[in-house]
Amino acid sequence: MKPTGPIRVLVVLDSPFVRAALTRALAEQPGLEVAGSAKDAFEARELIIARHPDVIVLDVDLPRVDGLSFLKKLRAHYPVPVIMCSERGPAGARSAVRAMELGATDVVAKPATADRTALRRLAEELTEKIRAAHVALPVRPPIPPSATAKPTSFRATGLDPNRYVIAVGASTGGTEAVKDMLLRVPVDFPPVVIVQHMPEGFTKSFADRLDQLSPLSVKEAQDHDLLTPGRAFLARGGIQMGIRPAAGGRWRIAYGSRAPVNRHCPAVDVLFESVAQYAGPKGIGVLLTGMGSDGARGLLRMRGSGALTVAQSHSTCVVYGMPKVAVELGAVELSVAPLDMPAAILTALLRREHAGSRPSAAAAQPVSRTLE
């Protein structure tokens, strides 16, 4: 059980101006208490010992001991949720992805300018992420011993991967869950489209990292990309993404509005609703760990259209928020660990093929217009 009372936050940032401004802004947020601020890892260490913060906001760029090195020490000796602050640009994005691999709960991008408006927006973003981090597991759940071997081939089972499209949504803790799922897919897996809540400018580095690790070819999605088996497409930060029909019964990437949905851009619901509309029973929806409810109603819409719907199991979620809401809505057919998802999806599709039927489509709400 988490202790009651305000969430105690330690702010560790290199810039004195930004550190002071964010400390003031966070102290004004209801339910938060700033336990202290530090300019480097040495000051932070003393404050951790003295004040025992619940969540740490940590700069990637620190003097003497860099943020990633300090994060490693925190994971070993003081495993509380850590939100990393990283510069925009390729180097900062790579550092952010590495921080998530090292166990950071979430990441934010530093504003390009340190004016009051930019810092206020950063404080608002941090407040939301701090609250999510406070209910997150401080240490990533271990890989369950039941994890199965990846399927060796999709086509070898008699299924045509061109007939399907797999839509994946994730938020807090999702970078590792997405990675785990894509580690176990066969090379002829159906096309995968992914929305991971992540700052604009960071998604390309995450896609590049997934491309190095997964049997699939993974890229940051571009408008009109044709979805083909053996490939995965990660939504770009800062714009809504869905799919549209293409020739030959296939689909393409469709980018649209920059307006937030469920406070997110891109939003999982926008992707799932487009898959429900344009793929119907040929869609597979996967909702992974995350705070809030984004994706839950879209997954329900997918299930109503006849799609197969899957959620991450409670015991493997860093934050059992989005999948929990989806389960409560009746949107989920299977709840499994990310490592088990490729095999579970294949088994479920084979079962449907052998049964010769699919779930009947239920009445659905109108599709979101955010892609127009």
pLDDT at 137: 77
Q: Would you call 331 helix, strand, or coil by DSSP?
A: coil
Q: What percent of the chain has pLDDT over 70?
A: 92
69 closest CA partner among 39, 36, 102 = 102
Which H or E run includes 107?
strand 106-109
CATH no., domain 155-355: 3.40.50.180
Reported residue count of the chain is 372
Question: 7-135 with 155-355: one CATH topology?
Answer: yes
Q: Domain residue spans in the chain?
A: 7-135, 155-355
Asked whether residue 366 carries a pLDDT value surpassing 90, the answer given is no
Asked whether residue 361 carries a pLDDT value surpassing 50, the answer given is no
Q: What is the topology classification, in CATH, of domain 7-135?
A: Rossmann fold (3.40.50)
Q: What is the mean pLDDT of residues 5-21?
A: 93
Q: What is the mean pLDDT of residues 118-146?
A: 82
Tens of pLDDT, residue by residue over 62-87, are 999 999 999 999 999 999 999 999 99
Tens of pLDDT, residue by residue over 134-156, are 988 776 766 665 656 667 789 99
Residues designated as active site: 171, 197, 294
Q: What percent of the chain has pLDDT over 90?
A: 81
DSSP for residue 144: P
- How much is the mean pLDDT over the chain? 91
Tens of pLDDT, residue by residue over 307-320, are 999 999 999 999 99
Asked whether residue 2 carries a pLDDT value surpassing 60, the answer given is no
Q: What is the mean pLDDT of residues 255-263?
A: 95
Q: Where does the pLDDT of residue 363 fall: very low under 50, low under 70, confident under 90, or very high at 90 and above?
A: very low
